[in-house]
Chains A and B, each alone.
Chain A
Amino acid sequence: MYTELNSILNTSPDSFTQGEFVLLSDRKSDASFLIHHFLSLYLRARCKVWFLGLVQSFNHYSAISQRLGVSLVQAKEKGQLVFLEGLNESLSVLIPQETDTRSQAMGFLSDPAVGLKSLYEFVRSSVTSSGGGEEEADGAEEWGPPVLLVDDISVLLSLGVSVGAVLDFSHYCRATVCSQLQGNVVMLVRCDGEEEEDDGDDEGSERLLKGLTHQCSLTLHVQGLPTGFCRDIHGQVEVCWRRRQGDWQYTQKKLFQYKVHDKGASFFAPGTSSAVL
């Protein structure tokens, strides 16, 4: 959890906007540090967190969260964190074992044309069964609003799922988690290559990014510096509120440069890094 980013986004573990769909995206850069930020933020905020880790193992996220002062293992044991390890799950689909009792969440792998209904079913059943954590009996801890994190959703495109299917999935996640349960959804999208002006006939990450941008309420777009690599500035992040920022619903944009440290990240206005001043 980066406190500087919290103050930019006007959030804190104690108070954060509910029902938000946050879109993280990157181009020629790496926005995964933001996923770690939101993961630790919501865990500290005592939300019930569902994490679809499609690109890294649990140990990876656990090791990084440890540095940020949150223990994923503990959270998992307490039932606060539900972690879908996409890599393991997909293995069990691709190489079926006889004694397999796993969920069919990654069932789309065997037939990507079917769409992501199975993955959504997994999210919905587990999110709604706990009822947002309100009516937990037998002395179990109560958790706040549900939060769904996806790292990263564009990897589904590489697995043969169409852009439309991914957009349907995110729509359903938003309808269920954000609107119905007043929770939050955070998704990461990777864009490879240059920004192009084409008329939307490409089945790729560009179209996915546009489609998700239409759905989301807050975007954090990470880019490399246009001038190239720099030791003191790792890139720039464009924060864009699309609606429901207080009472005012206009798109509002802010640009920051950032540097990721060992245990945290610093954000500053463009041109005010220590290398310049």
Chain B
Amino acid sequence: MLPELLQGIDAGGFLIIQDSASYSGRHLLKSFINSALDREEAVHVLGFEVSEEELKDGLKGSPIQRLHFHNAYTDPLGWTDHPAFTVHQFCLEELTRLVKQTSHPKPATLVIDSLSWILRHLSPPDVCKTLQQFRKGGAVRAIIGLLHADMHQSGTVGSVCHLATSVITVVPVVKGDKAVAKITKRSKSGKVMQDEEIFSIKDDFTVIVQGKPSQHGPKQADPKEQETDPTANLTFNLRLSDTEREAKEKLALPFVFSKEKKTALLHSGPGSGRILYEPDANDDYDQEDPDDDLDV
């Protein structure tokens, strides 16, 4: 599903790349920028976290003049005199103005690096509102945002991801430079598709999908388990032949009482001992009920 997304997001789409401190999603973000540039789309990057040089580093081969970098990196809070773009300018009007600055026949893609920076300074409802309005506004074809999921409360991450049409969560694998992408894609009909793919990114930001982790991981272990039979190669016999079973069923077990056994025990035969009791006249026999005083 990852190559499909790289091929292009539907018009009005909103893609979120979620990463964590253990694996940066910026390389994948660059792949998306690269593939959008290759499709001759204009790409507007709202860069909070990396400088223009750092972002364009490695993208040199592609037609870079269609990449418009809006510098929110050097002064996102307006601490110096001439901020280019501050985080408080993140609203519908300003974003539309930014994108409209350059005219390009093809629809543009807005890349936000990263949503975490904005979410740290603006309230999540405001950010969600701006994003939704901007997406519906039609100024851009698609929005791609990077989100550091481990920097925010899960509720915030969840509410932003609900806006997105596609969410890619990147998780590192234990060894190698590969990573797993967990993709959730919501199509316009409302159908939700989920997929997991192992991928790696080459020097020129092409993404190579190397299969699905579920096929390599636990499923491979299943046939192995079926092969090994724990009852094989035992030193004793677990099964019964027919004659053995018959003999087993015939056998009377010692503490199971059959009718014959009961009568034999309760009616003792002649010659056995018996207790005879004749009450004596002097016996002190109390007529009263001894438990009479009990309040039962």
Contacts and interface: CB of A to CB of B under 8 A. Distances in A.
Contact of A200 (B22, B23, B152): B152
Nearest to B76: A171
A214 B148 contact: yes
B74 interface: yes
A215 B51 CA distance: 11
Interface string A113-128: 0000100110010000
Contacts of A121: 79
A201 interface: yes
Most chain B C-beta atoms within 10 Å of own C-beta, residue among A180, A199, A244, A248: A199
A210 interface: yes
A125 B54 CA distance: 24
Nearest to A252: B177
Contact of B73 (A124, A179, A199, A213): A179
Q: Which 3 A-B pairs have the closest CB atoms?
A: A199-B154, A179-B51, A213-B21
Nearest to B23: A251
A210 B75 contact: no
Given A179-B73, A180-B74, A200-B153, A214 B203 contact: no
Contacts of A252: 177
Interface of A: 117, 120-121, 124, 164, 167-168, 171-172, 175-176, 179-180, 199-201, 207, 209-211, 213-215, 242-244, 247-252
Interface string B43-72: 000000101011001100000000000000
Given A164-B120, A248-B203, A249-B58, A211 B23 contact: no
A175 B51 contact: yes
Most chain B C-beta atoms within 10 Å of own C-beta, residue among A172, A215, A247, A252: A172
A276 B143 CA distance: 55
Interface of B: 20-24, 26-27, 49, 51, 53-54, 57-58, 73-77, 79-80, 116, 120-121, 148, 150-154, 172, 177, 203
21 contacts: A117-B79, A121-B79, A171-B49, A175-B73, A176-B74, A179-B51, A179-B53, A199-B153, A199-B154, A210-B148, A210-B150, A213-B21, A214-B49, A215-B49, A243-B24, A243-B26, A244-B54, A244-B57, A249-B27, A249-B58, A252-B177
Contacts of A244: 54, 57
Given A175-B73, A175-B74, A200-B153, A214 B21 contact: yes
Contact of B24 (A171, A179, A201, A214): A214
A120 B79 contact: yes
A163 to B, nearest CB: 9
Contacts of B116: 214
A214 B51 contact: no
Contact of B172 (A175, A214, A249, A251): A251
Contacts of B148: 210-211, 214
Nearest to A167: B120
A39 to B, nearest CB: 26
B151 A214 contact: yes
Contacts of B153: 199-201
Nearest to A124: B80
B74 A242 contact: no
Given A179-B51, A242-B24, A248-B203, A210 B73 contact: no
Nearest to A215: B49
A210 B151 contact: yes
Contacts of A214: 21, 24, 49, 116, 148, 151
Most chain B C-beta atoms within 10 Å of own C-beta, residue among A117, A201, A213, A214: A214
A179 B74 contact: yes
Nearest to A251: B23
A120 B74 CA distance: 13
